[in-house]
Homo-oligomer: A and B are copies of this chain.
Amino acid sequence: MLKIGKYELSSRLLLGTGKYENTDIQKQAVEASASEVLTFAVRRTSLEDGAKDAFEGIDLNKFKLLPNTAGAKTAAEAVRTAKLAYAAGLCDMVKVEVIGCDRTLLPDPIETLKASEQLLDEGFTVLVYTSDDVVLARKLQELGVHAVMPAASPIGSGLGIINPYNLQQIVEQATVPIIVDAGLGSPADAAYAMELGADGVLMNSAVAKAGNPVLMAEAMKEAVEAGRKGFLAGRIEKVQYAQPSSPVEGVSPHS
């Protein structure tokens, strides 16, 4: 069970929306993923219409909608966007996303901190997209955010977990859920994130832009579960020298 603030989730896979070829494929992928949290960009979605178009065909009673502040470049913009989402009656959760670099879409650490602080003051349940800076992640959790979401690599890049060292440090020092967000490209990436001890992953492009998004959604669901179990089961250590996989030391009746 993944607990983010007051919300309890069975699935550790959060899914982005808005990049699918059409809403029918999106609907099927959402189902295949078994995800319970759907993110979307507030600026992109017509909130007046109850986000109707963006989530066409999806039974919104079955999901938590997680509005994100994509498009914001300052804390002020992010806060304003979050409030719009809240006013539309969607959810009190918000994913803080303040972009600091147009090329890489990597986050702005200072504005991200500020936005998180203000939204916590306003009573939001705050999930926050951040770089994999180890100390910044800790500062965010000290601030009281409800989940820290470090980037594996730039949004949409599919480069996977470039720096497993930092991710592991963040996880080991975590007091709130760590959700790996951005950059994951394949089921192996998702499993790896979970094996490193992440509490969940958020994916969008890796599913939505796959050759077969519905099948990929299913693959991601299984990979997250496999990685989680692998983490709990405890993997073997890496060693430089081989151990016979089929031990031959024993007495053989034929030799």
The answer to whether the Cβ of A46 comes within 8 Å of any Cβ in the partner chain is: yes
Q: Nearest residue in B to A110 (C-beta to C-beta)?
A: B139
Judging by beta carbons under 8 Å apart, are A226 and B223 in contact?
Answer: yes
Q: Which residues on B sit within 8 Å (CB–CB) of A213?
A: 233
The A88-146 residues at the B interface (CB cut-off 8 A) are 97, 100-101, 103-110, 113, 131, 133-136, 138-139
Q: In the complex, which of the residues A81, A154, A226 has the most CB atoms of chain B within 10 Å of its own CB atom?
A: A226
Q: How far is the CA of A107 from the CA of B255 in the complex (A)?
A: 21
Seen from chain A, the residues whose Cβ lies within 8 Å of a Cβ on chain B are 16-19, 39-44, 46-48, 68, 70-71, 81, 84, 97, 100-101, 103-110, 113, 131, 133-136, 138-139, 153-160, 162-163, 165-166, 169, 173, 182, 185-192, 195, 204-206, 209-213, 215-216, 218-223, 225-230, 232-250, 252-255
Given contacts A71-B255, A157-B240, 10 further A-B contacts (CB under 8 A): A18-B247, A42-B252, A84-B254, A131-B135, A154-B241, A160-B238, A162-B162, A205-B245, A210-B234, A222-B226
